[in-house]
């Protein structure tokens, strides 16, 4: 079936078209894009795990224009495959591991409290607040910036750089978006490079220092790999958290029974609510891989060199896997969604996003027990990375 991934109506609500796509029961060829679409859960999951499929980055041309953008991707974990991926992930995991992430809990709790204080002051002045700009966005940006040792005065640079770069993951980015991505990649790479050089002279307790020191079997990250890793951590470390939080909040507001549960039992349901936020309206929808050898997905032959896309948001609504798949249930358990991907390409920032959301979601409802969304939330006009630009809210007296 033809799907126009740039159609505003599709972007506003892609789920009816994705449901129809799943009804074919197998991956479908998209003539315009020249690739297969894997919409069912089993197929989308297989695309992420199949060892005959690779995440192959094709350098943008001309190389001089795209130089920094190209190596930021080719030298990152996201756009590499074994053995390079294995080496990079192993080195990064030594510095950015679960213990390191869990150690951030007190800092995340303190930052959450600070943001809630600012929101409380805003409400006291009779103003509405933006769930995205005042809460969901600054928290993960501040956390990942502090983790990497970014000066607080420069935090405002990170989100614009990230959003400019990730627009290149959309279907058919415009010339303007391409130019903005190139500029952002150049500026981001130069900035992190400067921090890396400074940490070599003055080591700290931050992750850049740790990444520069980490070594395994005589292997270390080279300068480009270290910078690419930091940029990926900054992007992956907050995009999933911001979009997953915002998407879930709007979905819950549109289901009054779910909103009531969040208001009355925030701590009790936080863990399952977060997973349902990531399932019902996934922050990432479009992840392509290329066949490095002839293979088969869902009974469909994928020839060497052909691309196939894992449609994560569609997979998360597969009726064969999830009961009442189109209905939000923040107590859903088990919840085998693939909102953060799967296999070796499971989102590097996933565990951090879960921790941040696990703290910030119940804290928001406990501080503001009469929380309400006001007006109409404004969506970002993108499909691959799906989220909101603004969600205004208040605490009714």
Active site (annotated) includes residue 372: no
Which residue, chain included where needed, has tokens 């197929």?
43
**Alpha-carbon gap, residue 83 to 287, rounded angstroms:** 20
Q: Which of 164, 181, 236, 270 is catalytic?
A: 236
Backbone φ/ψ region at 324: left (φ over 0), alpha (ψ -120 to 50), beta: left
CA neighbor of 353 nearest in space, from 150, 132, 136, 135: 136
Q: Which of 80, 241, 314, 384 is catalytic?
A: 241
Active site (annotated) includes residue 241: yes
The SS3 of residue 231 is: helix
**Alpha-carbon gap, residue 113 to 344, rounded angstroms:** 35
Active site (annotated) includes residue 236: yes
Burial class (CB in 10 A: 0-12, 13-18, 19+), 65: middle
Q: Which of 180, 239, 275, 276 is catalytic?
A: 239
Active site (annotated) includes residue 102: no
Who's near 366: CB < 8 A, 6+ residues apart? 266, 267
CA neighbor of 243 nearest in space, from 127, 376, 388, 112: 388
Q: Which of 315, 347, 353, 393 is catalytic?
A: 347
Q: Which of 181, 184, 356, 393 is catalytic?
A: 356
Catalytic (active-site) positions: 236, 239, 241, 347, 356
């Amino acid at each position: 079936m033809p799907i126009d991934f740039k159609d505003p109506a599709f972007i506003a609500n892609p789920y009816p078209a994705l449901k129809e796509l799943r009804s074919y029961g197998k991956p479908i060829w998209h003539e315009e894009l020249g690739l297969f679409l894997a919409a069912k859960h089993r197929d989308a999951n297989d695309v992420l795990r199949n060892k005959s499929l690779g995440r192959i980055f094709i350098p943008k041309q001309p190389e001089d224009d795209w130089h920094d953008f190209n190596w930021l991707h080719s030298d990152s974990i996201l756009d590499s495959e074994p053995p390079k991926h294995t080496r990079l992930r192993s080195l990064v995991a030594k510095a950015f591991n679960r213990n390191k992430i869990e150690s951030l809990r007190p800092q995340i709790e303190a930052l959450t409290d600070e943001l809630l204080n600012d929101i409380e002051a805003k409400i006291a002045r009779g103003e509405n607040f933006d769930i995205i700009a005042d809460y969901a966005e600054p928290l993960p940006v501040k956390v990942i910036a502090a983790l990497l040792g970014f000066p607080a005065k420069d935090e405002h640079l990170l989100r614009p750089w990230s959003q400019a770069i990730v627009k290149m993951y959309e279907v058919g980015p415009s010339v303007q978006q391409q130019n903005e991505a190139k500029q952002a990649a150049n500026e981001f790479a130069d900035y992190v490079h400067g921090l890396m050089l400074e940490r070599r002279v003055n080591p700290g307790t931050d992750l850049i220092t740790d990444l520069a020191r980490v070594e395994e079997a005589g292997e270390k990250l080279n300068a480009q790999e270290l910078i690419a890793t930091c940029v990926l951590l900054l992007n992956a470390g907050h995009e999933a958290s911001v979009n997953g939080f915002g998407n879930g909040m709007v979905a819950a507001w549109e289901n009054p029974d779910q909103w009531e549960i969040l208001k009355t039992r925030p701590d009790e349901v936080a863990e399952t609510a977060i997973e349902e936020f990531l399932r019902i309206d996934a922050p990432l929808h479009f992840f392509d891989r290329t066949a490095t050898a002839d293979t088969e997905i869902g009974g469909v032959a994928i020839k060497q060199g052909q691309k196939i896309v894992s449609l994560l948001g569609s997979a998360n609504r597969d009726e064969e896997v999830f009961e009442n798949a189109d209905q939000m249930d923040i107590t859903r358990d088990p919840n085998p969604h693939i909102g953060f991907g799967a296999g070796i390409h499971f989102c590097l920032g996933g565990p951090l996003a879960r921790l941040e959301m696990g703290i910030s979601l119940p804290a928001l409802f406990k501080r503001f027990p009469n929380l309400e969304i006001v007006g109409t939330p404004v969506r970002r006009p993108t499909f691959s990375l799906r989220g909101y630009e603004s969600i205004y809210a208040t605490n009714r007296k």
